[in-house]
Every structure is written in C-alpha cells, then in structure tokens.
Structure 1
Amino acid sequence: MIFEWKKWIKNPKNMILIGFALLSVFVSLTNLYYKNLGADQAVFDHLKAINDEIDPPQGYTGPKGNYKLLLLLDENEELSSNKAQELQTNLVDIIYLLEDEHTAQLEKKWLEKTKIQTERLTLQQKYLDLGGEPWRNESNIAEQLAHNQWLLDRKIPMTNLDIGQQGFYFVYYLLDHWMNFLIVIMIGLFFFDFLTSEYERKNYLFMAVQPITNKRFFQRKYVLAVSVFIGGLTMLLVLGFIVASVVHGTGSLMYPITIYQGTTFKLIPLWNFLLQAISLQLLFILFAISLLLLLSKWLKNALEVLGLFLVSMFVPVILEALFSKIHAISVSLPFFYMNTYSKVAEISGSFSTSYFIQLVVLVSWNLILVLIWRLNWRKKE
C-alpha cells in the first residue's frame, strides 16, 4: 500500500488536482460571502414585490386588477361588503408587517424576523382563505409556515441554506455542489491512469515475477483509490467546516430540510438528511472507482478509460433530462446517483422507505461489480 501511495502522490497531475481541491474550499467561502452581501437586497426586493401587489402608488388611476386593495372597492370607490372590510384590514396589517420584517432583516434579529414572517404568512394565508386573489410573489405558504414553526419551536435562527456560511451549512453547500458532475470528473482525473500506467510502462512484466497474485494487486489499487478519494474528500469537508465555524459559527444540525413527496412535503433535521445523502454518495463513489479500475483493466489505455468512463456516467443523466420516461428507471441504475440529493425520497411517499430502497440498489450494483472482478480473476488464473 505504501508503495502504491508513493507512486500515486508523486504524479504531478495528482498534486495539481489536490491543490485545486483545496483552493475550491476557499473559493466557495468567498463565493458565499459575496452572495450574502446581496441577501438583504434580495429580501427587500421580495418584500417590496408583495407590497406592490397590495398598495397602489399615490394618484394611481390604472386597472384595479393590478392591486389587491383596489379590487375591494366598488364603482363608488367604497368597500363593497363586510368581507371586503375584513380583507382590507388583513392587507393593511400585512403592509405594516412587511416593514417590520425588513427592519429585522437589516438588524440581523433572526428570531424576531421569523416571528414577524410567520405572522405575515399567516395573514396571507387567511387572505386566501377569505377568497382573496392568489399571491403573485408568494408561493408555498403552508410549507414556509411549517418551516418557521420548526425554527421557533427549537429557537434556531433563520438562514438561507443555499448561501449559509456557518459550519454545518457550509458542509451542506459543499456537498450539494461537489456531489454532482464534479465528483465524477475528479474520480476520473485522479485515477484514469492509476492502473493503466502499469501497462503503459510495462510494470506488469515486473509484477508478474513477484510473489503477489493478480487479485491482491488489483485489491491494493482499489483500496488505495477509495482511501485516497474518500479520505481526501473528508479532509476537505472538515477543513471547510472548521474555517466556516471559526468565522461564522457552527449553525445547527437541527435546521429543517424540506423533503417533497408528490404534492406533500415533510421536514427533517439537517443531520438526518446529510447522513442519508452522504451514505448513498459513498456507495456511489465505491461503484464509480470500481468501474473505472475495471475499465482500466480491460482497455489498458488511459485516455480511452477516461473517455468511456465519463461517457458511461454522463450520457444516462443527459438522456434522463431529455426524456421523461427514463426518469422512471433512474432509481434502479447507479449512473443516476451522481447527485443523491435529487434521489432522496424520490421512490415512495416515505422518506425512510425510499432511502432503504436506494441503499439496496447501490449495494447491489457494488456487489455486481465485485462478482465481475471475481470472474475476471478466475479467468486470469
């Protein structure tokens, strides 16, 4: 193993890739920093859009349908009924809450913002229940209310996970971005020549006279590749967590993640989501590395291996995006697990059931590759 490690780490290409991986952590932190700079403006724009649905500017004489307050007035510019009076009171209360919510955002009073937003969303839902016009700039109100109640019950500050800078949220951000096409490309670039170099440099002639079996030789390659990749990925995540936590705090592993199940949704804590998504991704990584080394054993040419590996991984995903029918079988094939986040709770209406089905699928495909490896060793012997 030490001998294999020294050969791998001395490859200049691998050192450059490791450098880029380390740099990507700090680039991601910088990217989040600039995204957060615009967060206050994004909140203001959203709240202003809701306000502009309700309250017409002074002296407005255009169509009533553009503003919810005008819709309540009859031809004499008076409220048409008691229901209209109730709707007007509701809308005016929402306008005041929009101002309070923006102030809480600017002052970074996150728990207070959650309370105000919850009250505002409750009034918006009440407006709809009373027969008011649908909101153009606010959707998924029931989901947001459930999310906010979760935060209030546990006294967790509100944040946007997509741009969260705290430790746990940054790990979520890294996984959400790395566990897609990038991770497959990195596996290919790190190891496309890991086994083929033995053939290209004719090292296999030297190995043939050594007291080591082909099985043992390939096992060492596989174990080292898995150890290097998963170990390196873990180190990068730990580095990102430490740096983000020192600067912005750790965040909360109890932060709610929304899992969509058909027309319904379910909230689960961040730790649960990460645990299940990471476990599926690790199984996918094992499959990808095993497949890459198997192709290397068959083709014995580095560029051919890299090309066929990337094609076999990316083409099914591209086809899935183009043809909806393929989506129905994507859960049963390993090539579609580059982004496990999109697979979580995708099969059935039960989050746990979906996870275990996908776990069985990925374990099965890893075992299939193990069987193929064993058959190849037997033929060689």
Structure 2
Amino acid sequence: MSKSIDHNSFLVENGNNNIIKTGKFNDFKELKSFVEKIKKEKESLLHRTSIEDNNDFTILEDRDIYIYDDGLTTSYTMAIQKENQSTFSFSNLVVKFSNNDTTTAFILNYIPSQDYLNNYVNDPQIPFQGEVNYESIDYDGSLDDLNARYTCNSITVTYCNYGGEVHAAGENCTPSFMFDVTYDICYDSNNGQPLNESIDPPAGPNNGGGGSNSNPTIPLPTDTCEDSNTGNIGLIGGNGNCYSSEMLALSDELEEILDGIDYEYDSSLTDYEVISFNTVDEFEEFHDSIFDDVETEDSETSNDDGISKTKTFDHIFDIGMFSYTIKVEVETTIPSANSCDCMVVEDVTTILIGNTTLVEWEQLGNHTTEVSSDGSELTVYTRGTMTVGVKIDGYPFRTTYLVTFVQVFDYSTGYVIEYYLIKE
C-alpha cells in the first residue's frame, strides 16, 4: 500500500535564510543543460566504463530539488531513479557549480534504516540514518587517477536545531540555529565498487562545517509505501512493489534456500495464485520435496504407410503436490525394418494440464538430441521453466524452476527405454 507524504514540504518555521531554496528541475536552464550533457556523454559508445553503464538514471522531475547557494558555489540535489536501482535504496544526483572551480557531479546511493523511513513519512526533515555510498560520473574527472586506492567526495549536510530538536535544514530555518556536518563518501578506485559509509544524526553543532571543496546536499528519498504485513514504511521499487526491511530479510533467506533458482517478489499475486506458507521452514520443506512425488505414465499412437512408421509418444509427469501434469509429446519417424536408417525425432511439444492458477509452464526453445557413443541410443532433451506462486509469512513470490524432460529411445527400433525429469 502506498504511503503518501508531501515530499515538497518542510517544517513550518518562522525564520528564513538566503542559502537554502527549493524548486523544480525544469526551472533551472543551466542545471538542465548540464545534466542532459552528462547523460548524453554516458550514452555514447565511446570510452564507456562499467561505472557509466551502471549509472544510467532518470531525474524525478515532479519532485522538488534542494538548492544550497552560498554566493560562491551553488549545489543542486535531485531525486533520481537509476536503471539498476537496488531495492530498499534511493539515489540522488548532486551537481555543484562554482565561480572559481570546475563543475562537479556525482551520485549518492542511500540505504536507509527502518527507523528513519518510519519517521520520515511524518517528518521529511528528520536527519538521515543508515548507509550511503558514492558513485562517480565520468564528467567530474574523478576516474583519471586509477592508481589511487580510494576516490572520495565530501558532502555537507546542513542541520537546524530550532526548538531543541535536530532536523535537516529547510528554506524556512533560522540561520542562527543552522549548522553544517561534513562527511567523506568514497569508492574503491581499483575495482569501482562503492564503499558504504554509516551516517547517524548529529547530537548538535560541532566544528565539522563545510568548506569550498565540499558539496552541500540533503537526502531526498523516492516514493514510500506501507508494508501491509507489519505497518513499517518501505520504498517503492521500479517494478511498483513495496520493499521493506522485513521483506528484504525474507528475500535473503530465500536466496540461501533456493541457491541459484530464480525468484521474484510480486505483490500483484492474489491468494488464488499462491500456495501459502506460514514460515520459511515450511516453504523450505516444500521446496526440497517438490519433485519427490512424481508419477509417470505413457501411451503411443502410430501410422504405418509401409515405408516408414510415424509414432507419437505421450509421456505424462503427474506432480501430485499441485494436482497438475506436464504432458511431453514426442513425434518420431521410425524407418521400416529393412532400412538402414535410424529413427528421427520430428518435434517435441510440452503442455501444462490441471491447476494452472498456481503454476505456469514455458518450454524453452526446441528440443535437443544426443546419440550414445556406441550408436545404440538416442536421448531427447526438452527444457522449460515451471513458475510457482508462493506466499511466505504474508509476502508473495514467484519461484521459477528450470526443468528438463528426458526420453531415451532405442536408436534403431524407436522403442522407449526410459523417461524422467531433471530439476536443474
């Protein structure tokens, strides 16, 4: 469920200052021109880096931007949505124009604490608590010296303790209550990996004020939502799902259990489309035994024109846990008894029959065949994905299993030797 807040509102305070302002991205032509330039450079096929590939983003133009102008430099902070945005995180683009120095730009990725998000929806100026990391943008030149172990940028967050409670300073804050705290945010230049830095709310003013080399900013979270299971606040992902810390903790457990098997949180699944489990342990037991109780049966039809015989083999795999079957239909041509030719597999089709609300089946491409080293057997492989809707402790997921159906034939006669399935 979406948790609506006014992202463009700040604490009602009767003071004012000429340093901090807010506005819309499209109202600042110089800023807009600069952002379009760096995005164009990042989209160029020339001199692309892995960091550039990973940092494609969209400005959230409906959101207010944060502006810090001290007369010598002007810093803009914009909420963005990255193409590869990690769940339970949000990102900001920071651009600083200077009268005496080059323009700089970089991306800050924030991983908020659950307490911060829960409080943020009621007070958007509450000091950030969680982790933050920094990603370079090629334009600012910070990748030139790859011999350096760390590349860092300093950011300055301006706070206000009006009323005795520390909060992020807004445009209505009284200057005499405002103070700066500077943080160094780095990434590993040798491998391009960001380094998470913990940020905790300051207790009050200190001597860590910003300087001309710092970048004044403030965290601007993206859209929030309410976890319907716990009531905690989460962040809406690019796919529209609500991600809270509890959901991500469950997802981490699933990753360990499924061990490489694809799964996806999908809040659109209804109770009719999922198998419900109260605990992760219940799901793990189900996962471990999902293909333990498979019953099989077969039948065949043939058409003999005296030259060759066409046979269609139907192999039924009944997975009783779901009350559904997957039918594997193998169409073959068997040469006559006097021929020196061997059988040919013309086509293989797979069909899901039964309770299709809980399970989806998709055949992956065409079948493949393999002749044994002695030339006596022909093995047919048909791969596909079986997607099962599950709900664990109230959270719906799609789990996708890769399955291969195998049929082994006598290469000369076309008789079936065995058939089975493999969960990969």
Q: Larger % of helix: which?
A: 1
Which one has the bigger strand percentage?
Answer: 2
Q: Which protein, 1 or 2, shows the higher relative CO under an 8 Å CA cutoff with sep ≥ 6?
A: 1
Bigger CA radius of gyration = 2
TM-score class, shorter-chain normalisation, is: under 0.3
| TM-score, structure 1 normalization | 0.21
